[in-house]
């Protein structure tokens, strides 16, 4: 009868207004805490109640009216948002139209009193027994946002590097989050905003609640993680216990096991098929969809596998007089969807079992008073073989009437007794007329039900068409995306082809003058940049490309700064040749990065049309000279550092002695 167990991860809180009003300044609450069968009682303020909920994280927070905790819908949504992910708010009196708490408590045998503390205790006990509705304002979809943890600022000499570092941190954190979601087998969609050096943010839309996520809200340095549940349009009330109706089950065993579930009014509720499912998995699937009253097969005798399922549920057996032909199964299931022949056969077995019992179900329903559960009476008659009257007596738990008849002498009725008899006859006639009217009413109800069925069919058809339209729309979007990617790839290929043509034209490696100039020397190419500026470097990179291991020659190095030097470091050239002097800042950056720097006057650069070449031996000499100077520079720096340490030590010694 229930889709959740009674085992809770935390205590159960029952609350009721003790004094004041939530719309006032300071309401107080009667709080009953139910934990392992023990009750603790207290009177707390609203703030203290919220603190206790946050610290204790009760499994259930029970009340007879959710609006005792919030003055309106918006406030209730805010209250639900602040609840711990492990805590469920329960309104034990039902949904939007709650019953009196006294009636609910009496129905479930829970002690009840009119005092607030008694009502809080009753609410806690009812919630622990899975009575009531879960109050929710959120879906099971959660948004996880990875974003920058600090502003990129307004600028500065190191602004580019600072921004690149932050965006790189966001990108790395987004990869970690994506990896954790994938490892947890959670379905999600990712949307990223790319920025210089990495990502500005990444948003993951995950089909899970916050408690199911492998990540949590976090803020550290350059990044932050924000988690927020998707809000519903309104407040929903979902029963803690979902009713499991009596159903008819058709099973088709074999390499692929299939099952279909049909209600007692002939509606196909669900279907199942799997090549790998075992008996326990199928039984669990069936339990989630109802209580099998009849288990049916499409062949006779009933296969042993189907018989095992029938015995597991203690259900009634149904088999056809002979194996059902395929064309009849196709005809009987023509109005229903199925994935394969196995599902069709299971569905046909269940529907034929319903057809065989339909008249019996109708007769039982006609004889069942409205205060009784029709399905329970049908179950007693079909499964137990009892009469309707016996089933009603068993369900009402009333003792059977004494069959012995008493005898008495017939005497003449008095005038008063005759009048009573006339009135009784009149009552009988009125009752007969009432029965006729009720029969007409039943006919109208049947007509209304037929219209409802037609409306339901029309709605199903409309939903199917809407689903097809959505699928077409999704496919069109996917086609458009692929076309855009194709166009971008074509455009990129054209750009690369154009660049290759420019490179071939520029280098002209097959030019006859190269051999004339080279002679016996080993010439290597030099890439010339007009000025040591960002713009000149970017233009050269766009025209001929600058890559690791290149020899770069700056015709004018006077404009070099820290940021331009860092651009050259990122390229990782073999050596930098310059005309003019470098700034101290640029020289320091290149030295720390280990990029050799030499004067263009120390080598013989020769230009052949647009091609510049230099003797590789001269380049090696420049590199060797730079390495020697670098060693001397490092020795000088170390000597300076040692002198500074000695001076500091002497100063400390003197100050200590004095």
| Range from 233-237, 419-423, 477-481 that averages highest in pLDDT | 477-481
Pick the more confident residue, 83 or 412: 83
- Residue 118 main-chain phi, psi, to 5 deg: -65, -40
Say how many CA atoms lie within 13 Å of 222 toward its Cβ: 18
- Give the DSSP H or E segment for 140: strand 133-148
| pLDDT tens-place string over residues 607-656 | 765 568 888 888 898 899 888 888 888 888 888 888 778 877 777 777 66
| pLDDT tens-place string over residues 531-544 | 899 998 888 888 87
Q: What is the pLDDT of residue 369?
A: 82
Q: What is the pLDDT of residue 4?
A: 44
Q: What is the pLDDT of residue 7?
A: 39
Alpha-carbon gap, residue 220 to 382, rounded angstroms: 66
Cα 96 to Cα 65, 221, 451, distances in angstroms: 9, 46, 28
Q: What is the pLDDT of residue 402?
A: 36
Alpha-carbon gap, residue 506 to 229, rounded angstroms: 58
* Confidence category of residue 241, pLDDT binned at 50, 70, 90: low
- Residue 548 main-chain phi, psi, to 5 deg: -60, 135
What percent of the chain has pLDDT above 90? Answer: 28
Q: What does DSSP assign to residue 8?
A: -
Which whole number is the average pLDDT over 364-376?
Answer: 79
Closest CA to 549 of 575, 517, 515, 523: 575
Q: What is the pLDDT of residue 656?
A: 62
**Beta-strand relationship, 133-148 and 188-195:** unpaired
| pLDDT tens-place string over residues 513-536 | 545 555 566 888 888 888 899 998
**Which range (160-164, 192-196, 242-246, 401-405) has the least confidence?**
401-405
* Confidence category of residue 317, pLDDT binned at 50, 70, 90: very high
Rounded CA Rg of the chain:
42
| pLDDT tens-place string over residues 30-40 | 999 998 878 99
Cβ atoms of 187 and 125 closer than 8 Å: no
Alpha-carbon gap, residue 266 to 450, rounded angstroms: 13
Which whole number is the average pLDDT over 187-191?
Answer: 91
Which whole number is the average pLDDT over 125-140?
Answer: 87
Beta strands in 20-85, from DSSP E residues, in sequence order: 28-35, 38-45, 60-63
What rounded mean pLDDT belongs to the chain? 83
* Confidence category of residue 371, pLDDT binned at 50, 70, 90: low
| Range from 104-113, 221-230, 307-316, 332-341 that averages highest in pLDDT | 332-341
- pLDDT surpasses 60 at 54: yes
- pLDDT surpasses 80 at 139: yes
Helix axes 341-367, 388-396, angle to 10 degrees: 80
* Confidence category of residue 445, pLDDT binned at 50, 70, 90: confident
Cβ atoms of 101 and 90 closer than 8 Å: no
Say how many CA atoms lie within 13 Å of 520 toward its Cβ: 0
Q: What is the pLDDT of residue 377?
A: 85
């Amino acid at each position: 009868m229930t889709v959740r167990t009674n085992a809770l991860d935390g205590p159960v809180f029952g609350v009721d207004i003790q004094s004041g009003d939530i719309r006032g300044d300071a309401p107080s609450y009667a709080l009953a805490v139910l934990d392992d069968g023990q009750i603790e009682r207290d009177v707390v303020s609203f703030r203290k109640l919220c603190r206790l909920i946050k610290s204790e994280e009760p499994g259930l927070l029970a009340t007879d009216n959710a609006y005792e905790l919030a003055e309106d819908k918006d406030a209730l949504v805010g209250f639900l948002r602040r609840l711990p992910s492990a805590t469920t708010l329960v309104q034990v009196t039902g949904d939007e139209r709650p019953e009196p708490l006294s009636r609910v408590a009496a129905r479930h045998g829970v002690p009840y009193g009119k005092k607030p503390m008694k009502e809080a205790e009753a609410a806690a006990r009812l919630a622990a027994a899975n009575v009531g509705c879960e109050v929710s304002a959120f879906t099971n979809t959660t948004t996880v946002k990875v974003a920058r943890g600090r502003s990129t600022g307004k600028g500065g000499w190191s602004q580019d590097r600072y921004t690149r570092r932050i965006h790189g941190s966001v990108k790395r954190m987004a990869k970690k989050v994506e990896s954790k979601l994938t490892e947890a087998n959670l379905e999600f969609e990712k949307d990223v905003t790319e920025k210089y050096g990495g990502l500005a943010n990444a948003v993951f839309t995950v089909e899970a609640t916050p408690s199911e996520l492998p990540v949590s809200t976090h803020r550290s340095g350059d990044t932050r993680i924000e988690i927020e549940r998707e809000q519903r349009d309104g407040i929903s009330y979902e029963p803690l216990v979902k009713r499991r109706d009596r159903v008819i089950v058709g099973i088709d065993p074999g390499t692929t096991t299939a099952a279909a579930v049909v209600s007692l009014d002939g509606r196909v509720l669900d279907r199942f098929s799997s090549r790998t499912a075992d008996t326990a998995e199928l039984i669990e699937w069936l339990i989630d969809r109802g209580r099998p009253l009849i288990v049916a097969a499409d062949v006779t005798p009933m296969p042993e596998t189907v018989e095992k399922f029938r015995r597991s549920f203690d259900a009634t057996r149904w088999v056809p007089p002979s194996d059902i032909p395929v064309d009849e199964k196709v005809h009987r299931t023509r109005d229903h969807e199925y994935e394969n022949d196995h599902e069709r056969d299971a569905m046909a077995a269940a529907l034929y079992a319903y057809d065989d019992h339909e008249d019996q179900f109708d007769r039982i329903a006609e004889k069942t008073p409205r205060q009784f559960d029709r399905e329970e009476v049908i179950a007693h008659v079909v499964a137990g073989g009892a009469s309707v009257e016996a089933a009603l007596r068993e369900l009402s738990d009333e003792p059977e009437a004494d069959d012995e008849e008493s005898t008495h002498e017939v005497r003449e009725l008095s005038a008063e007794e005759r009048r009573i008899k006339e009135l009784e006859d009149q009552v009988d006639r009125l009752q007969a007329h009432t029965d006729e009217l009720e029969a007409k009413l039943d006919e109208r109800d049947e007509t209304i039900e037929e219209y409802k069925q037609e409306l339901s069919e029309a709605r199903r058809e409309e939903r199917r068409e809407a689903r097809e339209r959505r699928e077409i729309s999704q496919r069109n979007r996917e086609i458009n995306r692929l076309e855009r990617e194709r166009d971008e790839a074509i455009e990129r290929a054209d750009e690369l082809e154009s660049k290759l043509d420019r490179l071939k034209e520029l280098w002209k490696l097959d030019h006859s003058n190269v051999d004339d100039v080279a002679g016996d020397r080993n010439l290597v190419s030099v890439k010339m940049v007009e000025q040591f500026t960002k713009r000149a470097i970017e233009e050269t990179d766009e025209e001929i490309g600058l890559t690791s291991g290149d020899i770069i020659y700056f015709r004018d190095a006077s404009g070099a700064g820290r940021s331009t030097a860092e651009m050259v470091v990122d390229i990782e050239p073999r050596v930098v040749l310059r005309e003019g002097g470098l700034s101290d800042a640029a020289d320091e950056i290149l030295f720390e990065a280990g990029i050799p720097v030499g004067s263009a006057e120390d080598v013989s650069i020769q230009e052949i049309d647009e091609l510049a070449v230099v003797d590789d031996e001269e380049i090696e000499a420049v590199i060797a000279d730079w390495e020697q100077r670098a060693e001397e520079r490092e020795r000088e720096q170390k000597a300076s550092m040692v002198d500074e340490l000695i001076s500091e030590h002497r100063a400390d010694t003197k100050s200590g002695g004095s």
